[in-house]
Structure 1
Amino acid sequence: MIKKLIILHIVLIITFFSGCSGCNKNKHVLNTKDIKLELKLKRFEQDLFACKSVEDILKLKESHATFYPIYVNNIMPQKIRGMESIENDVAVELYRYISHPDMDSLYRLTQQKFANFEIHFDELSEASKYIYHYFPEDKIETITTYLSTFEFGSIYNEDEPSFGVGLD
């Protein structure tokens, strides 16, 4: 399983940077025009930082039902979760975390750079087609963007299946 995740990350990275490697046509490059994928983009970090109260955080848990538990339990646990935390405590800590001036500054910087994610989304869509071609059982359906304060660059969630991109 770990090997498959490593291969998926490598394929995504290679595809992402393949546009920088020259303009010559290569007859060995996969033609992805016939591969049809309906890929969705979810901007979790925008929804998270739009929260103005703990109640909004709890609503975010509902609107991002698949990604929210991954975010609070795996990506950010040491920053927002104690040993015996209950969900309301997690929501309070997460709200406190996003309200911190340093986090607000990080969010603003990432939004300056990635407010329009369409260019990157198109490249990741192309990478998803390559992944689907070589690993048809790992069809990526969603790309979710998030902030992790430099903890995670990217994640793959096989339950949804989705690919997460850390913008920081």
Structure 2
Amino acid sequence: MNRNLSVVTLLLLMVLFSCGKNDEACRLDEDILNQELTVEIVRLEDEFFKAEKAADYLYLLEQYPEFTDEYLQADLYPDLTSLSEELVQVHQDSALRVLYDSVALEFADISEIEQELEQAFKYIKHYFPEFQVPKVYTFVSGFNSDLIVTEELIVIGLDYYLPIEHTFQPDMARYMADRYESRYLVPMIVTAISSRFNEINPQDNTLLAEMIYYGKAYHFTKAIMPCTSDQFIIGYTPEVIAETFDNEEFIWSHFVQNELLYETNPFEIRKYIGEAPFTDAISTKAPGRIGRWLGWNIVDDYRFNQEVSLDELMANPNAEQIFRQSGYRPRPPQ
């Protein structure tokens, strides 16, 4: 982070996170990586595109019941036979087959994704022993579903993660589509998994509560993937991250002067938390989701200053307490 840190604080950061923000010097914890845990991604798109008859699809639907229920939403059909007959028609579509061929070429080897996911699962298991490794599938949905993460399974719509310059692109705004590349994939999954450990107070509907919730989510992801650049966790480019830190005092003063922390109007909250190309309430140069970014800074300070463990942090539903005990103050630009 582009902050003026004292030597003591810097040393503390280095102790808590072996690599901190210096990704080039990062080293993963070998004791954590030596756990007996393996991840094997099943390439379901290959099996579904090789199928030819309704009976073939019916067999696949019965073989992968979690995928059938969660991803293909079998409950929307009268029975599995009806779904299998529709799948025959869908997979005969020439455009979808061209898309599948593109995905097969681009993701011929997904061993790097598999390894990164396995390392992340080992870190989660280290901090949260109750974590059970889900089944992991890939698929080509024709841009119908990008990512599903439940306790039992993860389904990755690989078509969403084609390179940004590829002919096939999902129908979404560019500022969001820029984050749909393979380097963002595992951090997205880990951030989604964080929600099952991220305790909240359902009665607290303030902007501050939203900020802390996302701050805990991003902090979790960084702890689980300590060698991953912040860019791939929050989705800001390195240039935007640097500029945002340079303007942290100005951004924070906007929140304070406008008494935003305890705002409960959902339309106001969305201005600072929701997806947008920029936060125009502050400036057209302020990136969208700026409240999430501020929440991450507050949570970082809370954990460093209070020296709580990751599981203790995630189990704390008290956003007000986290904020007050963080001692958060924006740092002046370097």
TM-score by length of 2: 0.38
Does 1:92 find its partner at 2:93?
no
Cα-to-partner distance string for 1:77-108 (whole Å, 9 max, x where unaligned): 8xxx5xx5332121111111111011101111
Structure with the bigger percentage of strand: 1
CA contact (8 A) 1:38 1:141 kept: no
Structure 2, unaligned stretches of length 5 or more?
1-18, 160-334
8 Å contact kept, 1:41–1:143: yes
Deviation by residue 1:22-56 (Cα, 9 ceiling, x = unmatched): 32135xx5443232213232111111111011110
Question: Residue 140 of structure 1: SS of its match in structure 2?
Answer: coil
Partner of 1:136: 129
Aligned pairs for 1:62-141 within 5 A: 62-73=62-73, 85-141=78-134
Equivalence for 1:3: none
The CA distance in 2 between the partners of 1:25 and 1:93, in whole Å, is: 49
1:50 aligned partner, one-letter code: K
Look up the equivalent residue of 1:163 and give its one-letter code. I
Instruction: Give the residue type in structure 1 aligned to 2:48.
Output: L
Cα offset, 1:61, TM superposition: 1.4
Which residue matches 1:150?
143
**Are the counterparts in 1 of residues 41 and 136 from structure 2 also a CA contact under 8 Å?**
yes
Contact 2:124–2:131 under 8 Å retained in 1 = yes
Distance 2:43 2:71 in 1: 13
Q: How many residue pairs align between the two structures? A: 138
- Counterpart for residue 291 of structure 2: none
| Alignment gaps of 5+ in structure 1 | 1-17
**Higher relative contact order at CA 8 Å, sep ≥6: structure 1 or structure 2?**
1
Structure 1 distance, partners of 2:134, 2:40, is 6
Distance 1:134 1:97 in 2: 42
Task: Judge conservation of contact 1:37–1:141 (CA < 8 Å) in 2.
Answer: no
> For 2:113 and 2:78, how far apart are their aligned partners in 1?
36
* Residues 95/151 of structure 1: CA separation in 2 closer, same or farther (3 Å cut): same
Question: What's the C-alpha RMSD, in Å, of the aligned pairs?
Answer: 2.4
Find the counterpart in structure 2 of residue 55 from structure 1.
55
Structure with higher Rg: it is 2
Secondary structure of 1:99's partner?
coil
Q: Distance between the aligned counterparts of 2:158 and 2:60, measured in 1?
A: 19
Asked if the contact 1:141–1:162 (Cα under 8 Å) also holds between the matched residues in 2, the reply is yes
